[in-house]
Amino acid sequence: MSRPNRMLRETNDEARAVGQDLLRQARFGALGVICPDSGGPMVSRVSVCTDAEGQPIILVSELSLHTRALNDNPTCSLLVGEPGSRGDPLIHPRLTLQCQAEEADKDGIKTIYLSRHPKAALYFDFTDFVIRRLRVTSAHLNGGFGKASFLTPGDLALA
Amino acid sequence: MSRPNRMLRETNDEARAVGQDLLRQARFGALGVICPDSGGPMVSRVSVCTDAEGQPIILVSELSLHTRALNDNPTCSLLVGEPGSRGDPLIHPRLTLQCQAEEADKDGIKTIYLSRHPKAALYFDFTDFVIRRLRVTSAHLNGGFGKASFLTPGDLALA
């Protein structure tokens, strides 16, 4: 069986709405960074919320390898949108973000972050935990088979 | 509040068992590749099973960006182990694998793959879908706060 290459769709309002929902509702994601030791990609779990601009925010420990990697090279990627526990994992929509990590004010985001992640109150104030804003530069929505679209920061309603 | 840097533990049998379980039970994961266009990391969702050696196997379309990326640079990373829908996403154990993608025989893996992903029978035979074995070179287990360990392929019981 072969099929035509029509996986990439023109971006439409449905794709924009799905992408915006996936980003705003994300409680966690898979962060891809360049490993400073190997130079290869490295994926790890991060907790996520979005700030007033809608940009993804992560709280990470400076003792962790991913934070060291971001400090070394801020170009990163964040995958959000999780499959359910049943059925084909690939039918569930997900959003791949390309981002530039930047430092952000920890006190300024505390209320928003803890409203999204109340249990993080246990460690939010640890001095080794820092905030990074993952400023989105582009995005790729996979809304399920045959439903892929590129999205701009504007498509995601980011400032 | 500050705390000592004791996030990385010596690898023990508990860490090996948790890592092995996470890999064998994974139905999907987050694949990190180097994007051939930007040179930055890119994370996407993949369906996963393990082959007779225990190595992770993915079924991907040659029309997709991650497959093009793997063809260009086979060094990649796979995150497995998903949080539940409640509570702190960071308390759930997860495993970051560093891998080298290699071509693998599609017919040879079909029975194993479809036993794990029965709904993939709808597209397994499409000619643009190919199998990649993600041969594990090293791994990093995060078993929850303060429970991080490096694991070798041997620790994961890989041949």
Is there a contact between B1 and A90 if contact means CB atoms under 8 Å apart?
no
The percent of residues above 70 in pLDDT, for chain B, comes to: 95
**More confident site: A80 or A91:** A80
Is there a contact between A128 and B2 if contact means CB atoms under 8 Å apart?
yes
Is there a contact between B40 and A34 if contact means CB atoms under 8 Å apart?
yes
* Nearest residue in A to B78, CA atom: A43
Nearest to B83 among A28, A61, A127 (CB): A28
Instruction: State both tokens at A119.
Output: 């249990």
Return all residues near A96 (Cβ < 8 A) that are at least 6 apart.
A77, A78, A79, A139, A140, A141, A142, B42, B43, B44
Q: Among A3-12, A43-52, B61-70, which stretch is predicted with the lowest mean pLDDT? A: A3-12
Q: List residues bridging with A87 in a β-sheet.
A: none
Q: How far is A63 from chain B (nearest CA, A)?
A: 7
Contact A67, A126 (CB under 8 A): no
Give pLDDT tens digits for B79-103: 999 887 777 888 899 999 999 999 9
Is there a contact between B38 and A123 if contact means CB atoms under 8 Å apart?
no
Residue B131 pLDDT exceeds 90:
yes
Which value does ipTM take for this structure? 0.94
Closest Cα to residue A143, out of A4, A15, A24, A23? A15
Residue A1 pLDDT exceeds 60:
no
Question: In terms of residues, how long is chain B?
Answer: 159
Probe site for chain A from B28, B68, B77, B85 (most A CB atoms < 10 A) = B77
Question: Which residues in chain B are closer than 8 Å to A130, comparing Cβ atoms?
Answer: none
Amino acid at A104: A
Closest Cα to residue A132, out of A100, A156, A158? A100
Residue B132 touches partner A, C-beta closer than 8 Å? no
CB hemisphere CA count around A85 (13 angstroms):
6
As a whole number, the mean pLDDT across chain B is 92
**More confident site: B87 or B30:** B30
Contact A57, A49 (CB under 8 A): yes
What DSSP letter does each residue of A7-59 carry, written as one string? -BPPP-HHHHHHHHHHHHH-SEEEEEEE-TTTSSEEEEEEEEEE-TTS-EEEE
pTM of the complete model:
0.94
Torsion of CA A118, A124, A129, A130, to 10 degrees: 80
Question: Which residues in chain A are closer than 8 Å to B32, comparing Cβ atoms?
Answer: 30, 32, 41-43, 77
- The phi and psi torsions of B15 (rounded to 5 degrees) equal -60, -40
* Model confidence band, residue A2 (pLDDT cutoffs 50, 70, 90): very low
Closest Cα to residue B30, out of B48, B45, B10? B45
